[in-house]
Structure 1
């Protein structure tokens, strides 16, 4: 058996599409007002991809940036994991194409669909591969094109979802920078968030907003406390809280329940919208780009959503 080693995030990258859509632009299409959108969701703008911006293209752009920050040559990447639920073609998976676009050849590559929890699931898997010596470096990307699944006649989904990609490189480390992952699911509630087919054969995202809010605020704090227990720390020990950017009301309520100061909470939701599996890495990358973090800062990553699936861990900032 390979010798166990530590694992840590060594690079981050993000890709936001070129089209920034404000509430003023989208409100009329959804039959609501800009004030209605911000009051209910906290969102002021979101990014929507253009014809040339596919899930794999966005993922490759974010992944390339993460590798550059980590100073890792593509030839030294042994595994690529693409967390996504919205790739246009179901077969083949997108991870091999992402690897090829970046110049990573003959690597292991697979897709993972845990919806909004996908990135946190993938980080846990990547860290384990590093620890047992199955990979020298793992590229993890969360990428979504939710604009393909939104219905203007359903304001609850039309105004909240956006597109984008965020990535992280997981590498060996003398000091373990990724705690054991807490993950789980509640399939009995799968019907409150997912996609449905209409009479014309189009697939749209459908969500019971109030039920999602109640489930999240009731169950996610328990998961957060378990994440800290697995990491051997207290909630007060974390420097930053990066939950899935589902809705600003949910993010704020979770922080209040967990007694995490507002200045420690990522709120990328405000101008990026809900990007499902891309939301945690996008928020984490922006936090790093802001210059507010320091190497070694403890960050709680917490993904939750459709499935209902959830996962989280404590990571150290690169």
Structure 2
């Protein structure tokens, strides 16, 4: 019998500190109107008071496990671009803090495509018989690597964590991952990277913007073809929350209805790997996606990397906490 990875639980953890555009206006050559018009962002969350990316990851993981009604998983996958140490990986420590000693645990880094690469990893572990249940955690603290005086990045990125439990199940179940598409282009690696001298994150925003909509559309079309869906079949489109203008352009280019797009970028900014899971959690609470909705996920990030996935949304309660 063929088995699929089935989404069984969803959790999030957000830092309590809110940074509004008005606060950024006071120290940067920018304005609320400029930020909203170009990105759609009105505020973002920042980890303070010693809160680390591992703290956010742990609490999001606990919420996802509670959402799934499961405490027993056989693997923990942590997607992050902002670990507080390069070695060893943080996932084993995360697993230990969650009371899961002895399970397989490792980090992955695909920047803003982290959630899609993480879902693919979880699906592979399940298909290979390594695990019956996998905890995927996507956590970022971009505030630790941003140049606070760089208007190009300081207004865009925020901190946060999302987590999901995927279990072995039948492909016909709601929540089953139906198809995946992943890709990369290392020739464009310098467009989104950390400066080797300063350690600060930098991005060629204009170049990324020009290629983003094209890349989102290409991977979305690939995964829809693999699934056997047309654009008209999609009830909910949940992209990486990179920029509201990019989301709007992709919706128009693909021919999706504007109502299909799920967005929370105005409240959280770009949270890189955590973005899709945070948007799914917020969107599901608002009824999009709702149980039975045919759902399309898509992302593009540094590397360059990209990915997409399809599933029929299951009945579940996304749980959340603040730190």
TM-score calculated relative to the size of structure 2:
0.93
**CA drift at 1:185:** 0.6
2:277 corresponds to which of 277, 281, 288 = 281
Q: Which residue of 2 aligns with 1:196?
A: 195
Range that drifts further, 143-152 or 295-304: 295-304
State yes or no: 1:138 paired with 2:134.
yes
State yes or no: 1:236 paired with 2:210.
no
Q: Take 1:29 and 1:87, find their aligned partners in 2: how far apart are those partners?
A: 27
The CA RMSD over aligned residues, in Å, is 1.4
Q: Which residue of 2 aligns with 1:316?
A: 312
Q: 2:215, 2:300 within 8 Å by CA — same for their partners in 1?
A: no
TM-score calculated relative to the size of structure 1:
0.94
Q: Take 1:220 and 1:239, find their aligned partners in 2: how far apart are those partners?
A: 17
Task: Deviation per CA, 1:182-202: give whole Å up to 9, x if none.
Answer: 11111111111111144xxx3
2:49 corresponds to which of 48, 51, 65 = 51
1:33 corresponds to which of 31, 34, 38 = 31
Q: Pairwise mapping of residues 1-318 of structure 1 onto structure 2 (< 5 A)?
A: 4-73=2-71, 76-174=72-170, 175=172, 177-198=176-197, 202-318=198-314
| Bigger fraction of residues in helix | 1
Q: 1:254 to 1:294 in 2, by over 3 A?
A: same
**CA drift at 1:116:** 0.5
**CA drift at 1:156:** 1.0
**CA drift at 1:11:** 0.5
Q: 1:30, 1:159 within 8 Å by CA — same for their partners in 2?
A: no
Q: 2:262, 2:288 within 8 Å by CA — same for their partners in 1?
A: no
Task: Deviation per CA, 1:172-227: give whole Å up to 9, x if none.
Answer: 222251023211111111111111144xxx31111111110111122221111001
**CA drift at 1:237:** 1.0
Q: 1:309 to 1:92 in 2, by over 3 A?
A: same
Q: 2:263, 2:283 within 8 Å by CA — same for their partners in 1?
A: no
Range that drifts further, 29-38 or 241-250: 29-38
**CA drift at 1:58:** 0.4
Gaps of 5+ in 1: none
Matched residue count: 311
